[in-house]
């Protein structure tokens, strides 16, 4: 377990004396009708820009008190983790500081979906935000069976890592390096596991279908844990089913689990942990130098 211990020491070094996270950007919030601000995040009610044709399908709405409370819990949970304050600060530097409430969410390809819990958007020419949907709030109190973290914390942290990665444009998809580290290759049919056999692919397809069925029955916890059991097998070595979708999804899932799962080194490949330790997290420390 030397690798895991060394990794945690590294995390603690990075989290030492972080600059406190404050609600600093309030001066820009008036025109957006800010409803609340917490630890540097501004909670805005969803609004529609006339040029955004799909906006009404997403169903912008205001925040309920209970929703704000559960989001505060997720934010505080992240901040308590090793590296949590640095991740929050870095994600806000990359556009995650605005949280918007919509009924439904948007998939990476732009389709409106009932399954999306949250999504980071960085429209060209517009301000970035994280969309938080009804699905997210339906998961209150549900936990990962293996590491006992709250699913809402994992979902929120996943979006913070998308912001840090700028949807793959900073780390995970700038070239093939990260994809090959995690064992994914791009084909005409999207991202697949490198050298996967047909029978293995069939098993993956069956697991994905079982998860979909559980989701349609609103059995979120079972759906989540089914994917965890499958993806953490040694031949896959990823935190979750979602990580198999693309390098950007894997980046967000791995980043989240490095903070949330103390046993992460038992299933991730050492070179994947090294990638975050050597290439991703040091950029956070650089951001702390005065003047940046
Ligand atoms: Zn994602």
> Which single residue is written with the structure tokens 């590296």?
83
Q: Taking a C-beta distance cutoff of 8 angstroms, is the pair 12, 39 a contact?
A: no
Helix (H) or strand (E) holding 35: strand 34-38
**CA 290 to ligand 1 centroid distance, Å:** 32
Q: Taking a C-beta distance cutoff of 8 angstroms, is the pair 42, 99 a contact?
A: yes
**CA 275 to ligand 1 centroid distance, Å:** 19
pLDDT of residue 57: 84
C-alpha 155/C-alpha 159 separation (Å) is: 7
**CA 107 to ligand 1 centroid distance, Å:** 9
C-alpha 210/C-alpha 227 separation (Å) is: 9
DSSP 3-14: HHHHHHHHHHHH
DSSP 245-270: S-HHHHHHHHHHHHHH-TTGGGTS-H
**CA 10 to ligand 1 centroid distance, Å:** 26
Give the tokens for residue 13. 């070094």
Which domains does the chain carry? 34-286 (3.40.390)
pLDDT tens digits, residue range 238-258? 999 999 999 999 999 999 999
Q: Which neighbouring-strand residues pair with 274?
A: none
As a whole number, the mean pLDDT across the chain is 86
pLDDT of residue 7: 54
**CA 2 to ligand 1 centroid distance, Å:** 30
> Which residues make Cβ contacts (< 8 Å) with residue 54, sequence separation at least 6?
106, 110, 112
**CA 199 to ligand 1 centroid distance, Å:** 27
292 residues of the chain, pLDDT tens digit each: 444 444 554 454 444 433 333 333 334 444 444 458 999 999 998 777 777 777 888 888 999 999 999 999 999 999 999 999 999 999 999 999 999 998 888 887 778 888 889 999 988 888 899 999 999 999 999 999 999 999 999 999 999 999 999 999 999 999 999 999 999 999 998 999 999 999 999 999 999 999 999 998 989 999 999 999 999 999 999 999 999 999 999 999 999 999 999 999 999 999 999 999 999 999 997 655 555 4
Closest CA to 116 of 135, 141, 99, 98: 135
**CA 50 to ligand 1 centroid distance, Å:** 27
**CA 96 to ligand 1 centroid distance, Å:** 13
C-alpha 237/C-alpha 234 separation (Å) is: 5
**CA 30 to ligand 1 centroid distance, Å:** 29
Q: Is 126 helix (H, G, I), strand (E, B) or coil?
A: coil
pLDDT of residue 2: 43
pLDDT of residue 36: 83
Note the pTM of the prediction, 2 decimals.
0.86
**CA 162 to ligand 1 centroid distance, Å:** 7
C-alpha 153/C-alpha 133 separation (Å) is: 14
The set of long-range contacts for 206-211, using a CB threshold of 8 Å and a minimum separation of 24, is: 207/241, 208/241, 211/241
56 Cα distance to chain centroid = 25
> Which residues make Cβ contacts (< 8 Å) with residue 101, sequence separation at least 6?
43, 44, 45, 46, 60, 61, 62, 63, 67, 131, 132
Closest CA to 184 of 109, 283, 253: 253
**CA 246 to ligand 1 centroid distance, Å:** 9
**CA 291 to ligand 1 centroid distance, Å:** 31
Euclidean distance between the first and the last CA atom of the chain, given in angstroms as a whole number: 36
């Amino acid at each position: 377990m030397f690798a895991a211990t060394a990794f945690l020491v590294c995390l603690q070094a990075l989290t030492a004396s972080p600059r406190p996270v404050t609600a600093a950007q309030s001066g820009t919030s008036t025109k957006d009708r800010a409803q609340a601000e917490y630890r540097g995040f501004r909670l805005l009610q969803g609004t529609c820009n006339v040029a955004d044709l799909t906006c009404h399908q997403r169903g912008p709405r205001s925040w309920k008190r209970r929703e704000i409370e559960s989001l505060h819990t997720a934010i505080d949970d992240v901040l308590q983790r090793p590296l949590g304050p640095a991740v929050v600060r870095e994600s806000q530097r990359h556009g995650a500081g605005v949280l918007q409430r919509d009924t439904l969410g948007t998939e990476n390809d732009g389709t409106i979906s009932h399954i999306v819990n949250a999504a980071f958007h960085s429209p060209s020419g517009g301000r970035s935000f994280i969309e938080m949907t009804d699905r997210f709030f339906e998961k209150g109190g549900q936990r990962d069976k293996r590491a006992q973290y709250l699913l809402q914390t994992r979902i929120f942290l996943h979006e913070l890592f998308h912001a840090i990665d700028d949807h793959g444009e900073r780390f995970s998809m700038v070239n093939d390096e990260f994809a090959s580290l995690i064992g994914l290759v791009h084909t005409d049919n999207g991202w697949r596991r490198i050298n996967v056999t047909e029978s293995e692919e069939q098993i993956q397809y069956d697991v994905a279908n079982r998860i979909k069925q559980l989701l349609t029955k609103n059995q979120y916890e079972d759906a989540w844990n089914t994917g965890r059991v499958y993806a953490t097998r040694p031949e896959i070595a990823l935190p979750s089913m979602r990580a198999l979708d693309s390098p950007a999804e894997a980046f967000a899932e791995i980043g989240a689990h490095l903070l949330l799962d103390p046993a992460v080194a038992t299933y991730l490949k050492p070179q994947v942990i090294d990638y975050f330790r050597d290439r991703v997290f040091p950029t956070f420390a650089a951001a702390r130098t005065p003047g940046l």
